[in-house]
């Protein structure tokens, strides 16, 4: 058996090496026949000796059973999106901000093609692939490990002799142009539906429950970053990161370059744009990253994007089509948006049938009419929009668009969407009030404003379809419980256009009462981090409308209580790092609790960190914290603090400052 075990080990290493040469380096050293012979030899050896089967064997890539459903898992580090710029002036602004933050006259940037695929996070423990996760919302994503294992350019085991104990790698799953064309030819030959673009084909494959589907598509990966590495030397630059990834057996782009100044960055962008069509893969722009990792950490990130990187997007593709109709669409907060219904046209890698017209002022300014021939583009290659009207092709009977005088159905839909948002989990969190039930309440005129929810009686609820006595009692109990809420939840729930969960949190950090927020000026709003002019004006406009102030007044009169609770007592100036394992809470749960009181969490111990939350087996982070003189809080005292739901801001601050 020992001889057979050694034989299996040798065959696995040989096959993985050939996989690496073929799928990662594009440099096959054996013929397909020779590779297949080795593969069959290993497969037969494992079939004859089941005890030799190893889940990291090349024969086990497609061995998993189909899943019943996807599971959602936490990212070890937030998987942020990139901010975009669309011209050299915007890039110059980004470059200037980077220089000011780092306080340098010049910065080295690392340029990389922005592949048009699907972002993926790969986690390795002791050199073995244990998890592959989609981006999701940046904090959580879908576990697609069963599909990622079928992609032969993803190593199941790292090639390093001494791999890190933990490695989190970020990359892009995609299909090369030639492979995509061949895939569609096979689809057509099999009388199956062809794919609109390679990105859809890749994303669809990765989100299949059965790994055989992913295995049947020519997926590959290009890795572009390391978000976490433990018990191994960390790279000092982005360039070093890619070299390290390459040494571990990952495929990285060969079209990257180190750039010394802004001029070199723009030239690199222009060069890639010029040869975009001749590349083997689809790209939709160029990514520029500050090269030094220490500078990246200094610059930090906003809620959803790093400050040290930007995607310089190519000009969106444009196409000509006809406007068939102009309809109205209701957004999640009840805002009406005019939408152009278009004659289908292929642009930016997708067939476009609708395009946003943004608002009624935009329709009037561009003078868009039904029957017009228009130029459309996919802004940022994502959202279709009408660029301009070709007036010379306008039919003589085309009438100027006018908003309908009566909008009974639209008004109802607006109110339904507003109430659905108001009761949602991140707003007032009223359990049991589903979309269909809210639609009934609005259509029966039992609810014409948010405050009406707090005046609902059981007798009225029982008049609704499919609602029994017990369900009515549960809903009324949930409504009563929701009367005690936080300022942040209320501001998010009332649906100010442009104010999402993060913005609501920042607003309520800056203004601690409705009265102060109502009296706020556009200058005050603009000073709040990540709130720009457009959103500031939207907030100002919302509070300037008498009907909105009346609605807030009615809510308070109905018994809504804005608590100065643990959730709302936010401390803005602390940064902490969490390390080790914890008995009663997960690290992500601790981070969430700390975030809710305004304490920011970081993955790296540095001088900017205020304290370290320490569990069992903390590792090198505790050593570094001690070296830097950073305060250490052990799990017992932290858990006791977090259990005190009514603890005051003063007490929390005293706790941390007294450490």
Task: For 312-327, give one letter per residue: b (16+ CB within 10 A) or e.
Answer: bbbebeebebbbeebe
Task: For 561-590, give one letter per residue: b (16+ CB within 10 A) or e.
Answer: ebeeebbbbbeeebebbbbbebeebebbeb
For the record, the structure tokens of 491 come out as 């501001």
Q: Which residue has the tokens 């009462």?
A: 513
Q: Are 601 and 591 in contact (CB under 8 A)?
A: yes
Upper half-sphere CA count for residue 405 (Cβ side, 13 Å): 0
* Angle (CA) 647 651 655, round 5°: 115
Q: Are 488 and 504 in contact (CB under 8 A)?
A: yes
Classify residue 625 by burial, with Cβ atoms within 10 Å: 0-12, 13-18, 19+: buried
Q: Where are the beta strands (DSSP E) in 381-499?
A: 383-389, 484-485
For the record, the structure tokens of 35 come out as 């590779």
Pairing type for strands 309-313 and 83-85 reads parallel
Distances (CA, A) of 8 to 17, 38, 45, 614: 14, 11, 7, 43
Classify residue 448 by burial, with Cβ atoms within 10 Å: 0-12, 13-18, 19+: exposed
For the record, the structure tokens of 264 come out as 């070199």
Q: Are 360 and 381 in contact (CB under 8 A)?
A: no
For the record, the structure tokens of 605 come out as 């111990």
For the record, the structure tokens of 252 come out as 């990285």
Indicate which residues carry an active-site annotation: 114
């Amino acid at each position: 058996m020992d001889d057979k075990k050694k034989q299996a080990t040798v065959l696995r290493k040989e096959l993985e090496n050939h996989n690496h040469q073929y799928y990662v380096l594009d440099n096959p050293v054996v013929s397909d026949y020779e590779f297949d012979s080795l593969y069959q030899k290993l497969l037969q050896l494992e079939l004859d000796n089941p005890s030799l089967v190893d889940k990291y064997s090349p024969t086990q890539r497609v061995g998993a059973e189909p899943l019943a459903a996807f599971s959602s898992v936490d990212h070890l580090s937030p998987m942020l999106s990139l901010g975009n710029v669309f011209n050299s002036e915007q890039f110059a602004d980004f470059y200037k901000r980077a220089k000011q933050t780092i306080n340098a006259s010049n910065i080295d940037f690392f340029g990389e093609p922005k592949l048009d695929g699907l972002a993926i996070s790969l986690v390795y423990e002791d050199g073995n692939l244990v998890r592959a996760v989609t981006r999701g919302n940046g904090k959580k994503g879908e576990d697609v490990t069963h599909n990622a294992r079928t992609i032969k350019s993803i190593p199941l085991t790292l090639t390093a002799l001494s791999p890190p104990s933990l490695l989190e790698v970020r990359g892009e799953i995609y299909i090369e142009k030639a492979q995509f064309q061949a895939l569609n030819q096979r689809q057509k030959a099999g009388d199956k539906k062809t794919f609109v673009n390679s990105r859809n084909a890749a994303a669809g494959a990765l989100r299949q429950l059965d790994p055989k589907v992913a295995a049947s598509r020519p997926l590959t990966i290009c890795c572009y970053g390391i978000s976490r590495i433990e018990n191994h030397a960390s790279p000092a630059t982005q360039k070093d990161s890619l070299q390290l990834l390459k040494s571990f057996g990952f495929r990285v782009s060969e079209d990257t370059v180190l750039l010394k100044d802004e001029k070199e960055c723009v030239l690199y962008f222009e060069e890639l744009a010029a040869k975009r069509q001749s590349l083997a893969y689809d790209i939709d722009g160029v990514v520029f990253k500050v090269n030094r990792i220490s500078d990246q950490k200094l610059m930090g990130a906003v809620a959803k994007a790093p400050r040290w990187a930007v995607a310089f997007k190519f000009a969106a593709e444009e196409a000509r089509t006809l406007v068939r109709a102009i309809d109205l669409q209701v957004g999640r907060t009840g805002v009406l948006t005019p939408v152009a219904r278009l004659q289908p046209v292929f642009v930016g890698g997708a067939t476009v049938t609708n395009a946003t017209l943004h608002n009624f002022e935009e329709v009037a300014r561009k003078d868009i009419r039904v029957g017009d021939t228009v130029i459309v583009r996919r802004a940022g290659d994502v959202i279709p929009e009408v660029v301009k009207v070709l007036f010379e092709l306008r039919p003589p009977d085309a009438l100027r668009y006018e908003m309908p005088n009566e909008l009974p159905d639209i008004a109802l839909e607006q109110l339904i969407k507003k109430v659905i948002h108001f009761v949602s989990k991140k707003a007032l969190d009223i359990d049991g009030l589903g979309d269909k039930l809210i639609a009934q309440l609005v259509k029966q005129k039992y609810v014409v404003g948010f405050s009406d929810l707090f005046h609902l009686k059981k007798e009225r609820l029982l008049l609704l379809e499919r609602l029994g006595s017990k369900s009515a009692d549960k809903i009324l109990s949930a409504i009563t419980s929701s009367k005690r809420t936080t300022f942040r939840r209320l501001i998010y729930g009332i649906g100010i256009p442009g104010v999402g969960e993060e913005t609501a949190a920042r607003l309520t950090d800056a203004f601690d009462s409705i009265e102060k927020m109502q009296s706020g000026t556009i200058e005050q709003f603009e000073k709040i981090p990540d709130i720009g002019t457009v959103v500031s004006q939207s907030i100002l406009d919302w509070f300037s409308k008498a009907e909105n102030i009346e609605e807030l007044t009615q809510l308070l009169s109905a018994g809504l209580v804005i608590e100065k609770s643990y959730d709302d007592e936010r401390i803005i100036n602390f940064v902490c790092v969490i390390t080790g394992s914890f008995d009663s809470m997960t690290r992500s749960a601790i981070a969430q609790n700390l975030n809710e009181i305004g304490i920011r969490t970081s993955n790296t111990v540095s001088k900017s960190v205020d304290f370290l939350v320490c569990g069992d087996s903390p590792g090198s982070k505790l050593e570094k914290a001690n070296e830097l003189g950073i305060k250490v809080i052990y799990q017992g005292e932290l858990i006791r603090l977090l259990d005190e739901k009514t603890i005051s801001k003063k007490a929390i601050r005293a706790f941390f400052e007294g450490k």
